[in-house]
Homo-oligomer: A and B are copies of this chain.
Amino acid sequence: MTTTRSTGAFAAFVTTWADPVETALRALLPAPTTAPSRLHEAMHYALFPGGKRLRPMLVLLGCQAAGGDPRRALRAAAALECLHTYSLVHDDLPCMDDDDLRRGRPTCHKVYGEALALLAGDALLTVAFEGAAEAGPAAVVALARASGSLGMVGGQVEDLAAEGDGAHHTLERVQWIHDHKTGALITAALLVGAHAAFPNGAPAALLDPLTRFGDLLGRAFQITDDCLDLTGTAAELGKTPLADVALGKLTWPAMVGLEKSLAQAQELAAAAAGLAPELIARSRSFRDGGGSMLDAASGLLQDVASYAVARRR
């Protein structure tokens, strides 16, 4: 069993899969010239050029960690990016965070107006489920639960409710918001990928450790995100820094300080990485020992945990 840490393995994985993910995104979406063209332009504007494409990469990694060929999960990977992007477009709307800048450019509603941005978000959410369907009904259910009222949307509601509500700021509440607003979709990306690796959906024995890995990764990722809002520049972030502070958002460093936040993110990432060997051992049991894909997957899981806390944007 290869469980050695591969430094830079995830960066290499991203390089390998970047183009296929972009191709899958363009295949899932109607072309910007398709009627109604303003709508499709707005959807493309929000999606291209992309950000980190972290969630599609996690879908592909989830597939590989479950012993599948990541190529089988490319459409589902594109789906996760559409779903993530819809959440950004809607979060940026005037009635929500009212943001002007996203991925270094004016937000979707600044360019296309509120009505079209709202509808482009709706259409991105909808097409996400068309893409996820390729990974089977269990993937669709996992994605819907993670992104709906008990997941991402629920987290966004609590995030908005917490703004300026300083009297009720507790660490438990921040964690609840993180887990729902960000963590649920990160975990779902891995699960959707795992489902794509099995004709009738992945077995629970594999989904359980993958869920624990994803939940730790999500927390490490979101605490790091909160810290980057304090320490990053607009050029690095592609969005307005100190935006959380300006909105009076409930963040991890606001509760425990920057230094302790960074240390805790490291601990969470290490705990996630520690789960990789067990997870891959489970996968091997379904794959007669598995092949070279599974050898690499353990190192990739450990490396993506490091990436989550070491990144600059």
Contact = CB atoms under 8 A, between A and B. Distances in A.
Contacts of A113: 95
A148 interface: yes
Interface stretch (A17-25, A51-59, A132-140, A275-283): A132-140
A150 B30 contact: yes
Contact of A140 (B119, B125, B129, B145): B129
A129 B127 contact: no
A148 B161 contact: no
Interface stretch (A7-15, A38-46, A254-262): A38-46
A149 to B, nearest CB: 4
Interface in A249-269: none
B137 A153 contact: no
A140 B130 contact: yes
Nearest to A135: B137
Choose among A95, A96, A143 the residue with the greatest number of B CB atoms under 10 Å from its CB. A95
A96 B147 CA distance: 24
A160 interface: yes
Count class of interface residues, chain A? 35 or more
Contact of A119 (B30, B115, B123, B156): B156
Contacts of A115: 95-96, 160
B118 A39 contact: no
A36 B161 contact: yes
A270 interface: no
A153 B126 contact: yes
Choose among A35, A116, A130, A138 the residue with the greatest number of B CB atoms under 10 Å from its CB. A130
Contacts of A116: 157
Contacts of A136: 137
A148 B130 contact: yes
A253 to B, nearest CB: 24
27 contacts: A30-B149, A34-B149, A34-B150, A35-B158, A36-B158, A38-B161, A40-B149, A90-B122, A95-B115, A96-B118, A115-B160, A118-B118, A119-B153, A122-B122, A123-B149, A123-B153, A123-B154, A125-B125, A125-B126, A126-B144, A126-B147, A127-B144, A130-B145, A132-B140, A136-B137, A137-B140, A140-B140
